[in-house]
Amino acid sequence: MQQAFRGSIFHCLADPGPHGEDSAVEHIEDGLLVTEAGVITSVGQAADLLPGLADDTPVQDYCGKLIVPGFIDCHVHYSQLDIIASYGEQLLDWLDRYAYPTEMRFADEAHARSVADFFLDDLLRNGTTTAAVFATVFPQSVDAIFAAAEDRGMRLIAGKVLMDEHCPEGLRDTPESAYADSKALMDKWHGKGRLGYAITPRFALTSSAAQLESAGRLAAEYPDTWVHTHLAENQEEIDEIAKQFPGYRSYLDVYDRFGLLRERSVFAHCLYLDDIDRKLMAEKGAAGAFCPTSNLFLGSGLFDLQSMVDAGIRVGLATDVGGGTSMSMLRTMSEAYKVLHLQGQSLPASRALFLATLGAARALDLDAAIGNFEPGKEADFIVLDAGASHITARRAASAQSLDELLFALIFLGDDRNIIATYVGGALSQYD
């Protein structure tokens, strides 16, 4: 069925860079987005496109509101929803004190499914239509998140966490079960509708060499799956990994030598890399997930966007809930601005939006399907209404340009301002 959506349309065509290049974005003040069977068929001036619509095509009126692509969260743990905002620790102690105990509960599939339902509804409420998600070590927790995403028609990447040492007994798998369970889940879910599988070793500290070898074997055998893990997040973590893997040049070198550094490898954090690491990541076609709220909350460090982009690495934005403190990509963009500002780097609104849409789609190698409004892409989009909360309405009234409005929405907006989320052309229902 053909559908049309009229409003102020904004999307990225390329990376606007640190100066917010106008040529990298398209803004159509009175625009029309036309979809057919969940796919974008055209985007342009409403006055040009309205006459060509079929007589019975419904036109949804979002005049005065902003239509942008759905947000893409490049790294998040659905199982950590209930420990978001837990006090006091840096990474390794935080894992022991909060993350591992809450993940134990996901052996129970009913619990996993109920968290997955809440989690995905909360993503949609916040305008996030696609995410790369860590489940837990329990295969049933992977079934739960995929089934919940399938019910909502969402494009989603997820995988079973692999961890066989330096973690509580109840959360351990083995090199053999890691291989067999991942393969069974891949067969069941990878490429089913809009779902994709990620081989998910938690991080080098919680996998034995034998398990990393299993993961690397899977990564070679199934090159169109993703590899999703953590990299160089925290100094203490890095010191431990250097002890566990002596003789490796760097943390990244561990992943590389086990065959986990390749296209469709997505590494969360990437805070402590050197030029050699960055060059290697770029050469191998791996991507980085920038997790500002997590990096600040856990006291991990500051992500160097400039160096990553200069090296030619694709970067997408991510919440990393529950180390991250917000499900909102608007909040994540505003914290990204601050992280970069502290380092003398700038993040104009258009580039912040890029990192949460087309840039994130590129990082996940999903830009043929999502990320902007190019005809042929899937119709995942959201409607932002500056009038939907008091402070954004007031600030919008004095905004002189779209750029100023967007920047204010990034800092002041929240889920109240996201008045509709469309997935595959359908309006998402959540309570």
User: Which of 125, 152, 190, 202 touches ligand GUN (CB under 6 A)?
Assistant: 202
Phi, psi of 54 (to 5 degrees): -60, 150
Is 73 one of the binding residues for Zn ion (CB under 5 A)?
no
Pattern 95-114, binding to ligand GUN, x per CB under 6 A? x---x---------------
Whole-number Å distance between alpha carbons of 402 and 407: 8
**Measured from the CB atom, is 148 or 268 closer to ligand GUN?**
268
Q: Which listed range, 91-99, 182-190, 361-369, 395-403, lies at the site for ligand GUN (CB under 6 A)? A: 91-99
**Measured from the CB atom, is 265 or 417 closer to ligand GUN?**
265
Whole-number Å distance between alpha carbons of 327 and 305: 21
Q: Return the amino acid letter for 277.
A: D
CB 18 within 8 A of CB 347: yes
Give the binding-site size for Zn ion (rule: CB under 5 A): 2
Is 320 one of the binding residues for Zn ion (CB under 5 A)?
yes
Q: Which residue is nearest to ligand GUN (CB)?
A: 323
Q: Which residue is nearest to Zn ion (CB)?
A: 320
Least distance (Å) between residue 387 CB and ligand GUN: 36
**Measured from the CB atom, is 6 or 75 closer to ligand GUN?**
75
Residues within window 255-314 making contact with ligand GUN, judged by CB under 6 A: 294
Q: Return the amino acid letter for 317.
A: L
Whole-number Å distance between alpha carbons of 117 and 145: 8
User: Which of 77, 190, 362, 377 touches ligand GUN (CB under 6 A)?
Assistant: 77
CB 370 within 8 A of CB 381: no
Least distance (Å) between residue 405 CB and ligand GUN: 32
Pattern 330-369, binding to Zn ion, x per CB under 5 A? ----------------------------------------
Whole-number Å distance between alpha carbons of 431 and 420: 12
How does 339-371 read in b/e, with b if 16+ C-beta sit within 10 Å?
Answer: bbeeeebebbbbbbbbbbbbbbbbbbbbbebbb
Whole-number Å distance between alpha carbons of 273 and 192: 35
Instruction: List, in sequence order, every residue forming a beta bridge with 134; answer none if it has no partner.
Output: 77, 159
Instruction: List, in sequence order, every residue forming a beta bridge with 317; answer none if it has no partner.
Output: 290
Least distance (Å) between residue 177 CB and ligand GUN: 19
Order of strands, edge to edge, in the sheet holding 59-69? 39-45, 25-36, 2-12, 59-69, 381-384, 418-423, 426-427
* 155 contact choice in ligand GUN, Zn ion, none (CB below 5 to 8 Å, kind-dependent): none
Is 378 one of the binding residues for Zn ion (CB under 5 A)?
no
User: Which of 20, 201, 323, 359 touches ligand GUN (CB under 6 A)?
Assistant: 323
Is 359 one of the binding residues for ligand GUN (CB under 6 A)?
no
Pattern 267-306, binding to Zn ion, x per CB under 5 A? -x--------------------------------------
Least distance (Å) between residue 50 CB and Zn ion: 45
Q: Which two tokens stand for residue 56?
A: 């019975």
Pattern 208-237, binding to ligand GUN, x per CB under 6 A? ----------------------x--x----
How does 85-118 read in b/e, with b if 16+ C-beta sit within 10 Å?
Answer: ebeeebbbebbeebbbebbeebeebebbbebbbb
Is 331 one of the binding residues for ligand GUN (CB under 6 A)?
no
- Angle of helix 175-189 relative to helix 209-221, nearest 10 degrees? 30
**Measured from the CB atom, is 66 or 99 closer to ligand GUN?**
99
Is omega for the bond preceding 322 within 30 degrees of 0, making it cis? yes
Positions in the binding site for Zn ion (CB under 5 A): 268, 320
Positions in the binding site for ligand GUN (CB under 6 A): 77, 91, 95, 99, 202-203, 230, 233, 294, 320, 323
